[in-house]
Structure 1
């Protein structure tokens, strides 16, 4: 009779590092594939119904034309160093268009909830249900960057000028950070609110007040003190002022002062950091809701 050594009784198969690496690679590969497939679905929907994209481009261009003409005869220097109000307004229109588009990011998810498609995705064998959120974010941010590019071109034709290549890259970064933060908030609301009526109500309530409580249409010096304080708490102002500075100055840097807030000077780099913090806080704040819904 053979006796099994005691050491053999406690033997367990060793986990191969290669197996672990392959598992991780498969997970990330599946996650990327799922995200791309869901993103493609959203772009197909947009291709079939392009009216939302077209309206999202036509409306801000009309703002540039009509508001620019409205204040065309304003005294020079009334709006700072700008040569015309259209140049001053361009930054506000770029930012507000990105903001409005990102604020609507939760509507497709909400409609998927109401039509039952989201439930089908939740019971599907996905590598990660967070691919649903990633796809929506990629779609909305891509759309915001496209709209911003069209507005920059339209503003150039209307006499606002055109920043250099580095300036255009900075505009893209600013739009990306703002759209990322607002998209996160909108997606969080889409999973938290009971229906699309409530989400649309929130959008209507938030949209215009944040526009008028920012520096999109007028500089801080035009505002009463209480509104100046609100405008400097508004993340839109920290996206508008750096872009406006790019339109007015050929030489710029991270240390360039872009806004004189009631509490002190705001530099270009400081505004970028505030937008980065806004996006980080927005992403962090929706994590509990996403985990309850998607986990």
Structure 2
């Protein structure tokens, strides 16, 4: 609609007419207008290690997950999801390992080129619901969504902050946001992921603590509003956001109390360490973060 209005204004001006001005909405107005309902879809891209999802998609590591809202009647929400993942084939793994085992080429000889990786496309699906979008205190990240199961948990708010969390974050710049890494109820889902135990061991070893126990849950908001770009109903826009984090992770939240969608979750460099790409924990870290790339509200 806004694109059509701009074209119409140019044509009218060229014809000697005085065009009607269609002001573009500010990021704050875009955020306030971004509401979802039953039938809306949200497309997620992995954002592993805090790097852009597109970068990992280009190299075959990124996953795409499409979430469809089945119910949206606050404080209740139900969704179903479908993910498309790229899994390296066993033959490709063997070829890569064989290449990595080769000795360095001596001076004067051309080093062999690494083999092109090969991937299989794997599709998975599941569902989840939440009944605590008013006062829940824990996200339920896609990393814990199990194929073919309803992964709902009490107090979990899926991809949204609860209204209480959002209000606290905006009013006081502090809110408790549980990720569930140490929760017994989610242990099975997380432990099934490669690298989880190594990741937790690394966190417990490196986490800063003044009480003897690392604080993963207290999120502190930035002083200023932020902005985030995504596609809404096929059009790229900028929306106002609340950005918050701690030593472990950062989140970007849509600045809309009626739809406080967590647009991005990513680890901080301190969480995954200086050798992230070589660490055994990398496999889990890859699946931890995500970013919302598009929303269809209609």
* Length-normalised TM-score, structure 1: 0.24
Higher helix share: 1
| Structure with larger Rg | 1
Higher strand share: 2
* Length-normalised TM-score, structure 2: 0.23
